[in-house]
Amino acid sequence: MSHRILIVGGGAGGLELATRLGRTLGKRGQAQITLIDANLTHIWKPLLHEVAAGSLNSSEDELNYVAQAKWNHFEFQLGRMCGLDRAAREITLAATLDEQGEVLMPERRLGYDSLVIAVGSTTNDFGTAGAAEHCLFLDTRAQAERFHQQLLNHYMRAHAGQGDSTEQISVAIVGAGATGVELAAELHHAAHELAAYGLDSIRPENMRITLIEAGPRVLPALPERIGKPVHQTLEKLGVTVLTGAAVSQVTRDALHTAQGQVIPASLKVWAAGIRAPGFLKDIDGLESNRINQLQVRPTLQTTRDDAIFAFGDCAACPQPGEDGRNVPPRAQAAHQQASMLAKSLKLRIEGKPLPEYRYRDYGSLISLSTFSAVGNLMGNLTGSVMLEGWLARMFYVSLYRMHQIALYGMTRTLLMMLSDRIGRSTEPRLKLH
Q: What is the pLDDT of residue 394?
A: 75
Going along 49-118, which residue ranges are E strands? 63-64, 75-78, 81-85, 90-93, 96-97, 103-105, 108-111, 114-117
Find, among 178, 172, 125, 116, the residue nearest to 147 by Cα.
172
Q: What is the pLDDT of residue 46?
A: 87
Pairing of strands 103-105, 96-97: antiparallel
Q: CA-CA-CA-CA torsion for 33, 37, 41, 44, nearest 10 degrees?
A: -90
CA gap 22, 147 in Å, rounded: 36
Indicate the burial class of 430 (C-beta count within 10 angstroms; 0-12, 13-18, 19 or more).
buried
Against a cut of 0.85, is the pTM above it?
yes
pLDDT in tens, 281-299: 999 999 999 999 999 999 9
CA gap 369, 189 in Å, rounded: 7
Q: What is the pLDDT of residue 382?
A: 46
**Residue ranges in the chain whose pLDDT is less than 70:** 1, 162-166, 322, 376-391, 423-429, 432-433
In sequence order, the β-bridge partners of residue 51 are none
Please name each of the domains of the chain with its CATH number: 3-121+276-349 (3.50.50.60), 131-272 (3.50.50.60), 363-423 (no CATH)
